[in-house]
Amino acid sequence: MNRRHPPSRPARQRGVAAIEFALIFLLGVLPLLLISFTGAMIFAAQQSLSLASAEGARAALQYGTTAQRQSNACYAAQRSMSWLLAFSGDTPNCGTPTAPGGAYTAIAVSAASACPSNATMQCITVVTSFNYNAHPFVPGVSALYGWLMTSNLSSTATVQLDLSGS
C-alpha cells in the first residue's frame, strides 16, 4: 500500500521569510535609522548655532555705536541660523542673555560690558539657542534624547571691542 505523504514543511511556510524581514525592518532597522537621522540633525543644529554665534560676534566688530554693533550681531546671527528659526517658528528678539532657567530667547546679544579676562576692555557676547525639546526634528524621538539633552542647544561667542575708532 502506497500512501501519499503530507506536504513537507518548507512548502507550507512559503512567504514566512518575507514576513520576518518586514517585522525585523519595522521593529529593528527603522528605529535605528530614525535615531541616527535625529542625531545627525541635532549635530547640524549645534553646528549652525556655533556658526551663528561666531558670525554674530564677528559682525559686532564693525565700527559704529554700541547699539549698531548689537544690531549687526543680531542680524548676522539671525542670517546664519535662519533654517532653525524657520523650523521652530521662533522670532529673535536679541534681548540680553538670561541666566540659566530664565526666559528663552533664540538669539541674545549683550550690551558692551567689561571683559571677563580684562576689565579695562569692553566685550559683547552673542548667545544662540534652540529649544529641541519643544521642537524635535522627528516627533517622539525627543523622549529618547530627553535624558541626554536636559537643556537647550546653545552656543556662545564673545568678542573684545575696539572702541577707539567709534
DSSP β-bridge partners for residue 129 = 154
What's the sign of the alpha-carbon dihedral 93, 97, 116, 44?
negative
Whole-number pLDDT of residue 124: 92
Domain chopping of the chain, boundaries: 15-165
What are 1-41's pLDDT values in tens digits?
566 665 555 556 677 888 888 888 778 887 788 878 888 88
Contact between residue 49 and residue 155 where contact means Cβ atoms under 8 Å apart:
yes
pTM: 0.75
Q: What is the pLDDT of residues 39-89, one digit of tens each?
A: 888 899 999 999 999 999 999 988 888 889 899 999 999 999 999 888 888
pLDDT at 165 over 60: no
